Structure 1
């Protein structure tokens, strides 16, 4: 599907995005801003469907609709709109140093936006402002599965804390033990186990991504994670680990253990 042709049809509805390009055609001073920056200097008038130069000192933050890395050209178009300034057409958005690139992705490459895993890292950092921790973990796995990550270890190391924000809270709820305190190694192992589970759905494993550690099974079996306050904790933990599937062992409940 040709995104440019569809959006460029004469009868297409005017939007904030299409009229951003119109404003760039009509006003030279508008061309110093990216699409994301535009609302800081210009105001959108919905009734007339046009941008007008902002009056007064009120500050506004612009935001572009989120696009998954798997959404193809829409994702790369969005990436460009955070970078390029003053574009008056879709062709100009794809133009780098006078060269019109055939796709938004190739334009991103020409601008260096896809080098050094910057693409995936920026995607995770931005999503952290609105996405839940489970959504963040799914996004991380999506990037590993469908994007060309050159340094998986670095992507993991710089983002694991964002992916694990709810791990301790979840374990407290599962075990009904609000005083539970997990250390960073325990949190990482629980997180890695969940990521391994998500990757398996896509036919991959953490072993396929060099540098990302594997879950530490010895940590996952620790009493602080499984059963922190029972007088017969060692016996119960041993029995649980022998009876249930490894993945289910991260969430021990009466549903799995019937003895």
Structure 2
């Protein structure tokens, strides 16, 4: 049923792309003034970000999540809440002979209410006052619906307080039999590994979730931004239990316990994995994971029109029974608090205009306002607004977090316009933004130079600093390659030394996976791999080697030897 509903919605978008079109305002105005014909103007409207679940929609939410990181730092808690089919609220609604898998409608309704109750429980200061939160409901093709939740607290959880909030141990059955029952039923991983090679988590003979963990007597901070939780051995007052696997009794100790919050587990009696996250590296991957989108069942199918995002979205789209029911009920797949305001960045008369053939002339004469043009108007009429930066406006005039759209350095004038907006207070117009000491500059770059914003590499440093918060390693390497190839910073080595660890994150992650060793640390060989990737991009962009751009040349023989060593160790 839901597949028919979604197909109708996507068909509407596809069939109405010629009726609803977009164009930069200055181009629309010039076209109308030239021949008065609106029939041949416009860019095809593809699958928009307003379509829930589309790639653009998921990307917007990932960037919005990183806006919370910019304003409030890393999240304190990452929680995965999974529906429990044994909840009494589900079982009491089943007809005789039915199981929860037969009634996805009941499962969806109960999980939705439980999720609302959980969020209300957390926000009501269970872990302290909550600053902001967001969650995404995931409905995979197998398994039960579950929600990924990020929580930011006003008072950060200190390292010495982690054990008071999160446990990775089997509770004492004599002290708390209720919690012991919940943990034994819901919070034991596997078992897998040598005990069960057929477990779904097994990849290349090892557990992809890194179980069993090492037994340690105290919680310590791990290399990837997550703590290594206290997991005491039975000799150190830790507990163990017996579980059945393949009709055999197996003794399980704390190495197999999924981290949980005792108060949440005991209250909701479900699988609730609670993790403490402290680094930007971990939160960056979490935000991407939380908003990764729907399952795909088919890949590698070429469409006739590779630019048709509607077809690309439909190709490989897999809709499970859980997702179908959830979407038919119009339950949200994302929620967050507070909201995020997107602040536009565009050149004068460069805002995007949506129009039809009937209203094109009117749109050309009276273009709609944007957040940027509204900012200028407010500064013209409000003395207080003239003391604010563009990014500071939502703080005082709305109850939302702001996010200024990023601009690629290759779009040079718009990039320098953004640089002015984050440094100049209270501009009243595009012309006033380009005015320095009473003189109108010919370009935004010239205005930046007159204001000494380009005297050193501070603006490139800020550009990369913004990128490391919200972008992944390969994107940061691409940005760095563009900066050194086309923008010619005065000291590229300093920029490399400051951000090289962020540019190597994915390489380190891949090597850890290939070697099956999560404890591998960053090394000169990994830095060299990143430099080779950067040099390859610079050769494509400017036909220059890194040594010609002021950086140390990568050691390509080391690259060959490193790959041979990896291959030998895998064998």
Shift of 1:229: 4.2
Instruction: List per-residue Cα deviations over 1:164-218 (Å, max 9, x = no partner).
Output: 1111111233x35234614421221111111122222222211212243423633
Q: CA distance change for structure 1 residues 27 and 96 in 2, over 3 Å: closer, same or farther?
A: same
Match of 2:520 among 181, 194, 197: 181
Which consecutive residues of structure 2, in runs of 5 or more, have no partner in the other structure? Answer: 1-25, 28-346, 352-363
Q: Cα offset for 1:224?
A: 4.8
Q: Measure the CA separation in 2 of the matches of 1:148 and 1:67.
A: 18
Residue in 1 that maps onto 2:462? 122
Give me the whole-angstrom Cα distance separating, in 1, the residues matched to 2:437 and 2:567.
Answer: 58
1:37–1:61 Cα contact (<8 Å) kept: no
* 1:10-46: CA deviation from partner (whole Å, max 9, x where unpaired): 6121111111111111111111101011111112xxx
1:29 to 2:384 alignment: yes
1:249 alignment partner in structure 2: none
* CA 1:178–1:80: 2 relative to 1, 3 Å: same
Contact persistence 1:152–1:211 (CA under 8 A): yes
2:508, 2:522 within 8 Å by CA — same for their partners in 1? no
Residue 132 of structure 1: which of 434, 449, 472 is its match?
472
2:568 matched residue in structure 1: 227
Are the counterparts in 2 of residues 190 and 220 from structure 1 also a CA contact under 8 Å? no
Q: 1:13 aligns with which of 368, 374, 394?
A: 368
Pairing of 1:237-248 with structure 2 (within 5 A): none
Aligned-pair Cα RMSD in Å: 2.3
| 1:103-142 C-alpha deviation (Å, 9 max, x unpaired) | 1111111112112122222111111121111111111101
**Relative contact order (C-alpha < 8 Å, sep 6+): which is higher?**
2
Structure 1, unaligned stretches of length 5 or more?
A: 44-57, 231-259
Alpha-carbon distance in structure 2 between the residues aligned to 1:5 and 1:181? 52
Q: How far does residue 146 in structure 1 lie from its aligned partner after superposition?
A: 1.1
C-alpha separation in 2, matches of 1:15 and 1:159: 34
> Which residue does the alignment assign to 1:198?
537
2:487 alignment partner in structure 1:
147
Cα shift readout 1:40-92 (whole Å, capped 9, x = no counterpart):
1112xxxxxxxxxxxxxx5x442211100001211111111101111111111
Tell me the TM-score normalized by structure 2. 0.35
Which whole-Å CA distance do the structure 2 matches of 1:76 and 1:135 have between them?
Answer: 20
Q: CA deviation at 1:5?
A: 5.1
Q: Does 2:432 match 1:88?
A: no
1:133/1:163 contact within 8 Å kept? yes
- 8 Å CA contact 2:528–2:555 kept in 1: the answer is yes
Distance 1:118 1:153 in 2: 14
Q: Match of 2:369, SS?
A: coil
Which structure has the highest helix share of the two?
1
Equivalent residues of 1:189, 1:220 under 8 A apart: no
Instruction: Say whether the 8 Å CA contact 2:407–2:414 is kept in structure 1.
Output: yes
What's the TM-score, normalizing by structure 1? 0.74
1:168 corresponds to 2:508: yes
Whole-angstrom distance in 1 between the partners of 2:567 and 2:437: 58
2:515–2:566 CA contact under 8 A, matched in 1: no
Pick closer, same or farther for the CA change 1:205–1:199 going to 2, 3 Å.
same
Structure 1 residue 227, shift from structure 2 partner? 2.9
Give the aligned partner of residue 348 of structure 2. Answer: 4
CA distance in 2, matches of 1:36, 1:99: 25
Structure having the higher Rg: 2
